[in-house]
């Protein structure tokens, strides 16, 4: 496999960008490789600067549920761009997309578009603190809610990949207001509430964890969180940046029939363009300026290109698409598990619909501690073997693999074939 152009670009990038990248996990640090620079993408395929083509399972970290650059979306974006790329003023697209989001997720009685999932989570916490007049929040070990200060305590995603559970630069005061519980462990939640009576503004959770790898909620976990927050007067925030419209058209909250007070959404509502949103109960969202005193603003919020892409994508979510994606997810998960058994490599595959994570461990993965027992060195060997065989998985043990409507059974079978060879290399490496 040729990599000379990617290597040359990376050499230039490290002289300009911290680590040569604009987001940490892209650096391939944890998989012992140098990043590939992408030239183009279409459907389920990526092509790098050297002309290597890969079946993509990153899919821009989830939002590309229809695949890369579907022709209809490209046509819609071109038409929108001719009408202007940014207004800094209201447009009908914000209203159209907002109404569609609310129809799919009725708990979002009012919502505000922002430019990222990080901004959405940060703003939701601010609203919760204003509503309750309390300072402390509960988050779960290994869950990632963006890089705002309150969330970088035992965070997942890139922070977990790089072994930096609490980022330097986060003040002691900010960290002190973030209380930790264990995912899928209601008793840990009850203990935190009991020790901080009347002081907890909100509990924020990924209803289907995706940033320590995919970890589905245990039976009763999400209803238990709803009950605990209602009992203690805390705001329940679902971070559906990954699960929203990926797990189902109504998100995880629709699947599990849980009504959060606030919800955070991310790139999938903009068809993969830079966008996010937060919303929920009318009384809470009416605290947001200009109606209420909670200030939050953004020049690019409601950007017409992102709104156009979001409308195009959400209009095309169908039950048949979700059934097909789930079938592919089941096929891929079973194939990866089979490849590991054949090579006598310990592997646990967690899957939920069109998202999965193969963990290199012999024990079930249900929370942060069990996820971090996975052997990231074995994953790195596996990753490099897959790349050499034309498959592009996430460059981290602790991320999800994402399927799209552009993937086919043939793509999955080719991936499983590559996995068999890569697993043999893992076994040989010990």
Question: Edge-to-edge strand order for the sheet containing 401-402?
Answer: 348-352, 355-359, 401-402
Nearest to 3 by CA among 42, 43, 38: 38
Q: Which of 56, 239, 367, 375 is catalytic?
A: 239
Q: Which of 57, 183, 185, 267 is catalytic?
A: 267
Q: Which of 56, 139, 144, 183 is catalytic?
A: 144
What pLDDT score does 168 carry? 74
What pLDDT score does 164 carry? 42
Q: Is 398 exposed, middle or buried (0-12, 13-18, 19+ CB in 10 A)?
A: buried
What pLDDT score does 25 carry? 87
Strand, coil or helix: 204? strand
Whole-angstrom Cα distance, residue 4 to residue 8?
A: 6
User: How far from 136 is each of 122, 123, 296, 390, CA to CA, in Å?
Assistant: 13, 15, 20, 46
Strand, coil or helix: 321? helix
Which two tokens mark 221? 């976990």
What pLDDT score does 297 carry? 92
Which two tokens mark 178? 């973030």
What pLDDT score does 197 carry? 96
144 catalytic residue (yes or no):
yes
What string of H, E and C letters represents the secondary structure of 81-137? HHCCCCCCCCCHHHHHHHHHHHHHCCCCCEEEEECCHHHHHHHHHHHHHHHHCCCEE
What pLDDT score does 165 carry? 46
Contact 59, 355 (CB under 8 A): no
User: Torsions phi, psi of 429, nearest 5?
Assistant: -75, -15
The distance in angstroms from the start CA to the end CA of the chain is: 25
Kindly list the structural domains of the chain, giving each domain's residue range(s) and its CATH number in brackets, ordered by start.
Answer: 4-65+318-429 (3.90.1150.10), 71-314 (3.40.640.10)
pTM comes to: 0.94
User: How far from 10 is each of 32, 48, 381, CA to CA, in Å?
Assistant: 15, 13, 21
Q: What is the mean pLDDT of each run of 10 residues along the chain (430 residues)?
A: 96 96 91 96 98 98 97 98 96 97 98 95 97 96 84 56 56 82 96 96 96 95 98 98 95 97 94 95 98 94 96 96 98 98 98 97 96 96 98 96 98 98 96
Contact 321, 405 (CB under 8 A): yes
Which two tokens mark 57? 């399972």
């Amino acid at each position: 496999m040729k990599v000379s152009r990617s290597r040359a670009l990376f050499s230039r990038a490290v002289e300009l960008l911290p680590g040569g990248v604009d987001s940490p996990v892209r650096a391939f640090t944890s998989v012992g490789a140098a990043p590939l620079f992408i030239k183009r993408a279409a459907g389920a395929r990526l092509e790098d600067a050297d002309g290597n083509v890969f079946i993509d399972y990153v899919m821009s970290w989830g939002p590309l549920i229809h695949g890369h650059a579907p022709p209809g979306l490209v046509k819609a974006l071109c038409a929108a761009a001719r009408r202007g790329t940014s207004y800094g003023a209201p447009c009908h697209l914000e209203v159209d997309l907002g109404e569609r989001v609310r129809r799919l997720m009725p708990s979002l009685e009012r919502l505000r578009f922002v430019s990222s999932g990080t901004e959405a989570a940060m703003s939701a916490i601010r609203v919760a603190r204003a509503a309750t007049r309390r300072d402390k929040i509960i988050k779960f070990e290994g869950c990632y809610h963006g890089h705002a200060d309150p969330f970088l305590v035992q965070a997942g995603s890139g922070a977990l990949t790089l072994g930096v559970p609490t980022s330097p630069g986060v003040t002691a005061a900010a960290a002190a207001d973030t209380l930790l519980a264990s995912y899928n462990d209601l008793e840990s939640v009850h203990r935190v509430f009991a020790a901080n009576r009347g002081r907890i503004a909100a509990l924020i959770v990924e209803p289907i964890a995706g940033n320590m790898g995919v970890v589905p909620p245990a039976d009763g976990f999400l209803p238990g969180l709803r009950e605990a927050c209602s009992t203690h007067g805390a705001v329940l925030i679902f971070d559906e940046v990954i699960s929203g419209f990926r797990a189902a058209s109504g998100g995880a909250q629709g699947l599990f029939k849980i009504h959060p007070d606030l919800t955070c959404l991310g790139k999938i509502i903009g068809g993969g363009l830079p966008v996010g949103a937060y919303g929920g109960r009318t009384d809470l969202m009416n605290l947001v300026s200009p109606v209420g005193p909670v200030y939050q603003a953004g020049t690019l919020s409601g950007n017409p290109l992102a709104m156009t892409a979001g409308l195009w994508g959400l209009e095309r979510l169908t039950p048949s698409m979700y059934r097909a994606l789930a079938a592919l997810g089941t096929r891929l998960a079973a194939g990866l598990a089979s490849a590991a058994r054949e090579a006598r490599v310990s592997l646990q595959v967690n899957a939920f619909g069109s998202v999965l994570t193969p963990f290199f461990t012999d024990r079930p993965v249900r929370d942060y501690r069990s996820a971090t027992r996975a052997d990231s060195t074995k994953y790195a060997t596996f990753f490099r073997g897959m790349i050499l065989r034309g498959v592009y998985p996430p460059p981290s043990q602790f991320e999800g693999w994402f399927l799209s409507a552009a993937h086919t059974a043939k793509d999955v079978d080719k991936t499983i074939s590559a996995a068999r060879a890569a697993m043999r290399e893992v076994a040989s490496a010990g």
